[in-house]
Structure 1
Amino acid sequence: MQLFIASTSPFARKARIVAHELGLGDRIVMIEVDPWTDPRLRSLNPLAKVPTLIRDGGEPLYDSAVICDYLDALAGRRLIPQDGERRWRALRLQALAADACTAAGRLFAGERRGGEDPMRERLLAAVEAALDALEREPLDDVAPDFGDLCAALLPGYCDFRWPDRDWRQGRPRLAAFAAAMERRTSFVATRHRAPKRGL
């Protein structure tokens, strides 16, 4: 299998973390691309977004949640609960973190462009409210499921995009959880970084 990724993307990081947690890393070739300019990616995924998974003998898969679900099925359903409230909690946390990361990405892009973004206050409020919601969640850093893994993505992405801003103020439980998660092997191996030269 091949996984098209960008080192700056929290969505690609989600898929990479899940692959690592499931022990599937040696079955997947990671292909780093610039999703804005790479013609291969557009030919595989009409949206030209990362992550995109090229399966052995199957249609490409895209959207990080879909890819993670596929990888979990491949590994025997170990991370995404299949029944009851645990399932809805995991999927809710995935959605919360994904949408907040989308808002954070747009905020960062707007700051780089300069000028006034009429959506800035709404996007900022969404990120802050998501962080506050995660502070109230009983998150598990010892035996995390899919929801817990996803919950750790937003703090990590905030640290990457705004290293000088303190999202931890007033959120001690989330700060401790995020610190513990960032020490996991899967998180260490997938840390955000600036793209390679030429991408």
Structure 2
Amino acid sequence: MQLFYSPTSPYARKVRIAMLERGLDAGVEVVSVSPFENPVLAAANPLSKIPALVLEDGQALYDSPVICEYLDSLETAPQLIPVDGDARWATLRLQALADGVLDAAFSMVMERRRPAPEQSQEWLGRWQASILRAIAAADLEPATRKSDLNLGQISLACALGYLDFRHATIGWQGVAPGLVGWFEDWKSRPSFAATTPP
């Protein structure tokens, strides 16, 4: 298999951490690509977005939740997505919440790359407010504190890492004090350290 990724993409980071935590990294070639004007990536993913996972038969999977679910179906290592019950929905809900944080944070990055007079302060404010509400909600999610590693936790750690990387002034720590120590523990996790953006 072949994974197209960017070292700064939090969505690709989530997939890479899932691979490492499940011990699947040896079977996946990781290829760093730019998502902009890249014909190789566009051939694998018509949306030209990363991550994209090309399977052995040449088919491609895209979007990090889909790729992570596929990876979770392989091998016999402990799964990152519980099979059923409340634990499954709590994990998927936390993943969706964290991915929503990433969507808003990425939108802010792209908006700030526009010329200053063209930037929408209204939208930047809305995205930031959404991020802070979501982080405060994540602090209360039961899947966050589960002792068994799950995909929701991975997604949340990637979201907090991306906020620190691209939006250090947002100050998410003020709305989720319970996550501060949790995230400090995550920073020392080998899979998280190995995927830190340059």
Q: Give the TM-score, by structure 1 length.
A: 0.91
| Residue pair 2:105, 2:131 contacting (<8 A) in 1 also | yes
Number of matched pairs:
193
Answering whether residue 119 of structure 2 is matched by residue 116 of structure 1, we say yes
Q: How much does 1:170 deviate?
A: 4.1
Looking at structure 1, the residues matched to 162 and 146 of structure 2 have their Cα atoms a distance apart, in angstroms, of: 17
| Residue pair 1:6, 1:33 contacting (<8 A) in 2 also | yes
Q: How much does 1:132 deviate?
A: 0.8
Answering whether residue 37 of structure 2 is matched by residue 37 of structure 1, we say yes
Q: How much does 1:142 deviate?
A: 4.8
Aligned to 1:196: none
Answering whether residue 153 of structure 2 is matched by residue 148 of structure 1, we say yes
Q: 1:157 aligns with which of 155, 162, 170?
A: 162
Aligned to 1:90: 91
Aligned to 1:80: 81
| AA in 1 matched with 2:109 | F
Q: 2:173 aligns with which of 168, 173, 180?
A: 168
Looking at structure 2, the residues matched to 164 and 107 of structure 1 have their Cα atoms a distance apart, in angstroms, of: 13
Which structure 1 segments of 5+ residues have no match? 194-199
Q: How much does 1:122 deviate?
A: 1.8
Looking at structure 1, the residues matched to 84 and 192 of structure 2 have their Cα atoms a distance apart, in angstroms, of: 27
Q: Give the TM-score, by structure 2 length.
A: 0.91
Q: How much does 1:165 deviate?
A: 4.5
Q: How much does 1:137 deviate?
A: 2.4
Looking at structure 2, the residues matched to 58 and 32 of structure 1 have their Cα atoms a distance apart, in angstroms, of: 18
Whose helix proportion is higher, 1 or 2? Answer: 2
Answering whether residue 187 of structure 2 is matched by residue 186 of structure 1, we say no
Instruction: Write out per-residue CA displacement over residues 67-116 of structure 1, whole angstroms, 9 at most, x where no aligned residue.
Output: 00111101336111010000001111111111110110111221232333
Looking at structure 2, the residues matched to 75 and 88 of structure 1 have their Cα atoms a distance apart, in angstroms, of: 22
| Residue pair 1:94, 1:147 contacting (<8 A) in 2 also | yes
Which structure 2 segments of 5+ residues have no match? none
Answering whether residue 132 of structure 2 is matched by residue 128 of structure 1, we say yes
| Residue pair 1:141, 1:180 contacting (<8 A) in 2 also | no
Q: How much does 1:52 deviate?
A: 0.2
| Residue pair 1:14, 1:64 contacting (<8 A) in 2 also | yes
| Residue pair 2:11, 2:50 contacting (<8 A) in 1 also | yes
Q: Helix, strand or coil: the match of 1:152? A: helix
Query: Identity of counterpart residues, as a percentage?
Result: 39
